[in-house]
Chains A and B, each alone.
Chain A
Amino acid sequence: MKKKTRRDFIKISAIGVGGLALANPVLDWVPSFLPKEKTPIDESKAERTPTICEVCFWNCAAFAYKGADGKVQKIIGNDSDLHSTGRLCPRGTGGVGMLYDKDRLKKPLMRVGAPGSQTFKEVSWDEALDYVAKKTKEVGEKYGYESIALLDHGTTAHHFEHLFKSFGSDNTAEPAIAQCLGAREAGFINTYGAGIGSPEPTDLRNSKCLVLIGSHIGENMHNGIVQDMSIGIDRGMTVITVDPRFSTAASKSKYWLPIKPATDLALLLAWMHVLIYEDLYDKKYVEQYTYGFDDLKNHVKKYTPEWAFTKTDIAPDLIRKTAREMANASPAVAIHPGRHTAWYGDDTQRTRAIAILNALLGSWGKKGGYYFPEKIHVPHYPTPHYPEPKWTWKDITKDKYKGAFTGVTNILIDASLPDTKLKHKIKAWYITATNLIQSIPDQEKTKKAIQNMEFIVVVDTMPSEITGYADVVLPECTYLERYDYLRTTRHKEPQIALRMPAVKPMYESKPGWWIAREIGLRLGLEKYYPWKDLEEVLDWQLKQVGTSLEEMKKIGVKTFDREEALFLEDGEEYFFNTNTGKIELYSTDLDAMGYDPMPVFKEHPQPEDGFYRLIYGRVPMHTFGRTINNRFLNDLRSENHLWVNPKVAKLLYLEPGQEVWLRNQDGVVSSYPVKVRITERIRFDSVYLPHGFGNKAKQMKTAYGKGAADWELITKVLIDDVTGGTGMRSNFVEILTDNPNNEEVKA
């Protein structure tokens, strides 16, 4: 049986030492539910509907194609779309698996058991919405509407943000900021007066040199960036990858710098030292556009490559050589800002160092470096002014995390704890499209906050762990079944993109805009909803920018002319949105707030004997835990493996494929075992565990219990002092070969 051999092959080889690692999606024999000889779709004849992918935040524009049976059969990128250039990633291509996932949330649910017990009764929409409105009013009147927090992610968030502002709360936060890119934004804002945003405005197609600091492009399928990197590689771009793991990107690199974890800032400072003291920086650019060069020069004097070697394990020669590579490519060089930047607690300072390096190389605003993205302003549908909240998240962060620029999820969770010392308290949560148990570190703390909430409502498409803690679960339909607000993201050219339903909402699921509006109407907020459905809003908005819903339904994406130039002209005068009007190598804002005005290297703890630093990351076919139950994507990767260096394996007598458990520095043990992958591709002081696996929600039948969860083991969090973000690469684990859970899997 051929199927069988290929499967056995995977088991043996995917974990072999330097052997053949096969990511083969062949599984056991499963009866086909498809009719025999279903014919492929002829794209020129089939009905197509414009959509915007919601399988990840890249939000590629696409068309959904339906077969003769009226079901969505395939999804193809929209050629006009700058996010995807007509090519989706595996998750977008497999988006149809999200639509037809049998484990979806199907009906509104209300809790009957104890919190976390996952016992619900099915109720009507009216009953569920009436209850949500009643509880919202109760909490709002008792504690003030500000005490209700929205913890959100994804496109649906916009509908609920409007609802929240309408009833007087500005306490909204998404994990994507504090757990991911907040530090990076703060780092760049405090240098250039402008953040990075999404998609990242790096001009990799024209770069001569790309530097990745712990960013594993290709394993994170940030579509446009992956495409641009590939085009760059074709053009002979030099890639320098700094990563304790030989990532896919590292394998495409001329230089792989297997850095000792938690020492990245030392390397960045040493690179600055070389650029400045070897006179390799872009003098004209630095002189014209930057502030504080002399301070920086003095500051990095002591950060020599020889010094950095003692911290990073990267040889001084290699530090010099790579710095010279960057300088040779200047200004067509991009030190990539990264995306998940919440690592070690001094993350704003580290991303500041990346921003400064780019400035020394003159790459900001230059071809092959960073371009100036533009978006088109689409007016909001006219509604009355929102009420002024008595307090907001800013009142919590203003003294402690002065560099925070949006709500910080973990701070709102802190404000939700029963013993919180904070003056402002959160009493109820709305959660949309984020599984807080997995996305926020220290799940015990999250659970403690959950116990203290007067009321929790979850709006989502899938029954993840967090739905188990809700009092009411509202089933949202997937992106392929709904309208949403227009995508108006910034890019090389301003574009708008439309998402509309390809099929009617399945089961009793409803679009997010409808759910938010129904709650709003029940709270007496009619004046904020002067429209009947989102089509009305979209058509009005589209007409303000010279198109219409009718036109957009046909084309999906519309491109507008730019108003400003994509890049700086040579020597062009330019005013940066900082206190000095210059790129601040020396940050006057950070200085004024009492932070280091220039990044200072600080030692971080390293693992003790017997412990290994837990590094986590992505696999290209999954978006964290949210795709894990998608049958196409689960077929490709259903469980994760623990990457272990052969030296470590020898020391611990580990065999390839052996099941092990992990115990972290705080004694927390992984619920499920994970198979060992013995590989040269990782340092001996670290282990690597792809994120998103080890799912504990039993209702997600395809994903449940497969692999180990990194998020369970992230209990030690190093808070970024500037933004309040949660540094999570701070956990150390032991590898246990006997089941410490006594054969009992914790529920």
Chain B
Amino acid sequence: MRYAMAMDTKKCVGCSDCVVACQTENNVPHGYCRDWIVENVDGTYPELHLEIRSERCNHCGDAPCVRTCPTGASHIIEGGIVKVTHDECIGCGACIQACPYEARYFHPEGYVDKCTFCDHRVAKGQDTACVSVCPTRCLTFGDLDDPNSPVSKLLKSRKWKVNAPEAGTKPQVYFLI
């Protein structure tokens, strides 16, 4: 089992529904978010290109946050989902420094928080909150070990890239371009 997400930059309109759905699903405190929108503009008028991405924790195959965590609060569960056990987190912030994606934040209750790939939903066979709400259906979540999963098929049929490949973290959020 290897969970991954494909994010279709050709369809995303940057509405941020994924952000709000995550906040209401996971009770993310006011003023914080576990996923966010990035817009890149290239070119000169009138030859322009705009790329919009919905970003979140990459649930890296080689996760620097897990390696640097002194207490073991940051750990990897089945399917490669990177999680933080809140009670074991001492809030030292080493993981926040280590993450090349700025995917982690200090929760006001004193621990570090981030995207969980909605493992509580995935365990019940549901899509993550962001995937299930997206009006453009630009997000696809699934198992890369299953060659017939929609996410596997998309990565086979479409061009894709990952963020900061030079960091060598084996990120599992793929951007279809």
Contact = CB atoms under 8 A, between A and B. Distances in A.
Given A21-B41, A684-B45, 4 more contacts: A18-B43, A73-B24, A89-B135, A223-B135
Contacts of A27: 31
A234 B11 contact: yes
Interface of A: 1-3, 5-6, 18-34, 36-38, 40-44, 73-77, 87-90, 93-94, 96, 217-219, 221, 223, 226-227, 230-231, 233-234, 246, 248-249, 251-252, 256, 258, 620-621, 631-633, 635-636, 645, 679-684
Contacts of A18: 41-44
Given A89-B15, A90-B17, A93-B20, A36 B109 contact: yes
Given A93-B133, A226-B135, A636-B16, A631 B39 contact: no
14 contacts: A2-B106, A3-B32, A20-B39, A22-B36, A38-B27, A87-B134, A90-B19, A218-B13, A219-B13, A233-B10, A248-B52, A252-B11, A620-B14, A681-B48
B135 A680 contact: no
A248 B41 contact: no
B26 interface: yes
Contacts of A40: 25-27, 120-121
B33 A227 contact: no
B37 interface: yes
Contacts, number: 191
Interface size class of B (residues with CB under 8 A): 35 or more
Given A88-B17, A248-B13, A230 B30 contact: no
A87 B133 contact: yes
Most buried by B among A26, A227, A230, A233: A230
Contacts of B26: 40
Contacts of B33: 24-26, 635
A258 B45 contact: yes
B160 interface: no
Contacts of A6: 102
Interface of B: 10-11, 13-17, 19-21, 23-27, 29-33, 36-46, 48-50, 52, 86, 93, 96, 102, 104-109, 120-121, 124, 126, 132-138
Contacts of A5: 102
B31 A635 contact: yes
Contacts of B40: 20-21
What 4 pairs between A and B have smallest CB-CB spacing? A218-B13, A251-B50, A32-B29, A620-B15
Between B43, B46, B96, B121, the greatest number of chain A beta carbons within 10 A of the residue's beta carbon is seen for B46
Contact of B39 (A21, A43, A231, A258): A21
B37 A24 contact: yes
Contacts of B29: 30, 32, 34
Contacts of B50: 246, 248, 251, 681
B141 to A, nearest CB: 15
Nearest to B37: A23
Contact of B27 (A34, A252, A682): A34
A22 B38 contact: yes
Nearest to A16: B41
Contacts of B109: 32, 36-37
A90 B136 CA distance: 12
A635 B30 contact: yes
A676 to B, nearest CB: 15
Nearest to A621: B16
Contact of A23 (B39, B49, B108): B39
Contacts of B133: 76-77, 87-88, 93
Contact of B41 (A19, A90, A258): A19
A25 B36 contact: yes
Contacts of B105: 2-3, 26
Contacts of B15: 89-90, 218, 221, 226, 620-621
